[in-house]
Amino acid sequence: MKILVTGGAGFIGSHLVSRLLQLGHQVWTLDDLSNGHQEFLEHVITHERHTFVHDSVMHRKTVEQLVQKVDAIYHLAAVLGVKNTVENPLKVIENNIDGTRIVLESAYKKRAKVVLASTSEVYGKNEKLPFKEDSDRVLGPPSTHRWCYSTAKAIDEHLGFAYADKGLPVTVVRYFNAYGPRQTSSQYGGVVPRFIKAALTDRPIEVYGDGTQTRCFTFISDTVAGTVAALNPKADGLAFNIGSDQPITIRDLALAIHRLTDSASTIATVPYEQAYGPGYEDMQARIADLTRSQNILQYRPSVALEEGLRKTIAWYRKSLT
């Protein structure tokens, strides 16, 4: 199959590109390198079935030309991260929505399958756990920029489902805290790389809030497996949770990384206001209901957290030297 991956030089995208090539597909990677890194693709950059295009998903002509070459699109290009939502909400809103619209409009002309990357952020602060794909969204007021990423990705999904109603094969994958090698954008989200970098350099491991908030972390190979499975025509017109359903508190995560790195770091508690400014609100817990993903995609995450952390720490030890 001929496949376009937008954002393919990013953390998840680069792993996805590698996997698609392993499966025998012909792949085009589109990335403006604003978040991605070309070195993440250095092992496949000259692959005979891979073409790298340094351009933006916001450039309609480029997207339209690439879409005409392919049978399917994985749309992963996005502006993400907590700091962006707080500091640059216009960039988050405009780039995410406009880029997705361009991809979907181009795909509709070709009737190319689209797998749209979304996020567990769309559930907001709903306290009814675990999150099912049809769970309600519960958000704070629009005047609080904290919620702009959730809203932008939800509009992306609305666009995708609207095109699905018009006959375009669209599948949405909602990621739950993917982590692993190459997740370097700790400034814009990603508590695992932030903790690991601090631990390996013996700086304080800063836990935001009181550390009792829980998350389910998903090793990158499991994230990619669910993403690849979303090509299945049985997934058309549906959203799928792609993640783990095994929660851990953020403080326990910090302790685990401290132990696995044999670090001399201290563990410090930092108020949200100090980390992100006044008015920031976090969710106490996020757990994915994987029933639909298991039944339709045969998705079952297989990498335990400690195993995944060991692999990630090993990568960071090499990358920081």
Whether the Cβ atoms of residue 16 and residue 40 lie closer than 8 Å to each other: no
- 74, 108, 123, 149: the catalytic one is 149
- The Cα 75–Cα 39 span in angstroms is 20
- The Cα 147–Cα 310 span in angstroms is 33
- The Cα 180–Cα 218 span in angstroms is 8
* Helix, strand or coil, per DSSP, at residue 167: coil
149 belongs to the catalytic site: yes
Beta bridge partners of 2: 26
Q: What distances in angstroms separate CA 321 from CA 34, 105, 245, 315, one per listed residue?
A: 24, 44, 34, 10
List of residues 6+ apart from 149 with CB closer than 8 A: 80, 81, 84, 85, 92, 96, 119, 121
- Supply the residues annotated as catalytic: 149
